[in-house]
Amino acid sequence: MSAIAHQPLPVVVLISGSGSNLQAIIDAIGAGLPAEIRAVFSNEPQAYGLTRAREAGIPAEIIDHRDYADRESFDRVLMARIDHYQPALIVLAGFMRILSEDFVNHYRGRMLNIHPSLLPRYQGLNTHQRVLDAGDATHGVSVHFVTPELDGGPVILQAEIPVHADDDAGQLADRIHQQEHLIYPLVIRWFAEGRLQLDDDTVRLDGKPVESLRYNSDTGDTG
């Protein structure tokens, strides 16, 4: 039996917080995901994800946005540091900064984000509470290519969860995180295997346009 060998995809991960998605990606690499995290950057000096990176032997750098006069100068420095590692993919994993258009365009087609809602619904912050306030029956998470429109880039894969009557925002966040830890490594695998592209504004998987792919965590199927 022969498997197609892939060079590990060089990846840089950007975080601001706990880094549980970073951990899921580190663990997936340990289990065979053909990627290599060359560096982790955080704009928050206290982010626990920095500890996770260092414990995994990954260079972890703090670039504190408060040290810069404006968004553009922060983004320029961040971009230069990222490019030093020559990544083929930038993974935003709970990176809580709006990025300038120049930054986003520089990485167009090679920057992913994960957002805790069924985009295009609930762009922005506090998505779990907003879902509860609206009385929605379902909630979810989306992985998308990053384009200049905030949380508006083409969606690659989503996972949906039911909202239970007694859920609070913390419970929803926990169950969303479980889904995130499954779908983010899967999408990164597609990219690493050369199966996933952004073609203008169209996401292609194995050359075919995809629209609203859903992940089923019971079966592991997407469709």
Which among 106, 115, 139, 181 is annotated as catalytic?
Answer: 115
List the one residue from 38, 115, 139, 144 that touches ligand GAR (CB under 6 A): 115
For residue 67, give the DSSP letter. G
User: Which phi and psi angles does 144 have, rounded to 5°?
Assistant: -140, 160
* 129 binds ligand GAR, rule: CB under 6 A: no
Pick the piece of the chain touching ligand GAR (CB under 6 A) from 12-20, 60-68, 191-199, 202-210: 12-20
Residue corresponding to tokens 């779908």: 183
Task: Provide the minimum distance between the beta carbon of 192 and ligand GAR in the complex, in angstroms, as a whole number.
Answer: 19
- List the one residue from 114, 119, 155, 159 that touches ligand GAR (CB under 6 A): 114
Establish if 139 lies at the interface with ligand GAR (CB under 6 A).
no
Contacts of 111 (CB under 8 A, 6+ apart): 89, 90, 91, 92, 104, 145, 146
Which residue number, 112 or 198, has a Cβ lying nearer to ligand GAR?
112
Pattern 166-185, binding to ligand GAR, x per CB under 6 A? ----------xx--x-----
Residue (of 121, 171, 127, 175) closest to 144 by Cα position: 121
Q: Is 177 a catalytic residue?
A: no
β-pair partners for 115: 142
Structure tokens at 67: 């040290």
Residue 154 and residue 144 in contact, taking contact as beta carbons nearer than 8 Å: yes
The set of catalytic residues is: 115
Residues that bind ligand GAR (CB under 6 A): 15, 17-21, 49, 93-94, 114-116, 176-177, 180
